[in-house]
Amino acid sequence: MTPLAHIALDFCRECLGWEDVREDGIGIYVYCHPERPNKLLSFTDLNAVMDAVRGWCDENDTAVEIGYYGYIPGEWEVQAATPISLETIQSGDLCQALLAACVEARRKLKAAG
């Protein structure tokens, strides 16, 4: 499993509350019915990731800031600011950085109660 797939599963479980989820290399499926899984997040598609992150941020009073700086060639920086924390993630993959920042922010929110 790739690091992107792993963090996408964490995002779906922890941020979206999906329980029986699996990935197939390009998407996350929820297994409501074993013979007909529903594909719900294409984690390699930046537009799909942005939509999922936007929905989570709207529900959790979270702001996301995306930066690309020339002094770190090939690296994106994503900051997720909640009312109680600021999580910063750097990655060469913008989808991975977005999902990881939200997962870390969710974990801090959960720990705070």
Looking at per-residue pLDDT, the higher value among 18 and 82 belongs to 82
Euclidean distance between CA atoms 102 and 109, whole angstroms: 10
Q: How far is CA 99 from CA 23, 25, 92, in A?
A: 15, 16, 13
Q: By percentage, how much of the chain surpasses pLDDT 90?
A: 67
75: helix, coil or strand?
coil
The pLDDT assigned to 46 comes to: 96
| Model pLDDT, residue 70 | 73
User: Can you tell me the distance from the alpha carbon of 105 to that of 11, in angstroms, rounded to the nearest whole number?
Assistant: 11
pLDDT value at position 20?
81
pLDDT in tens, 39-86: 688 899 999 999 999 999 999 999 999 999 877 788 999 999 999 999
| Distance (Å, whole) CA 105 – CA 62 | 9
Which domains are delineated in the chain? Answer: 3-112 (3.30.2120.10)
pLDDT value, residue 74: 87
Mean pLDDT of the chain: 89
- Cα–Cα dist 10/27, whole Å: 13
What integer pLDDT is reported at residue 33 of this predicted model? 62
Q: How far apart are CA 33 and CA 26, in angstroms?
A: 20
Residue 32 in this model has a pLDDT that exceeds 70: no
Which pair of tokens denotes residue 7? 């963090």
Gap between the Cα atoms of 102 and 63, Å rounded: 10
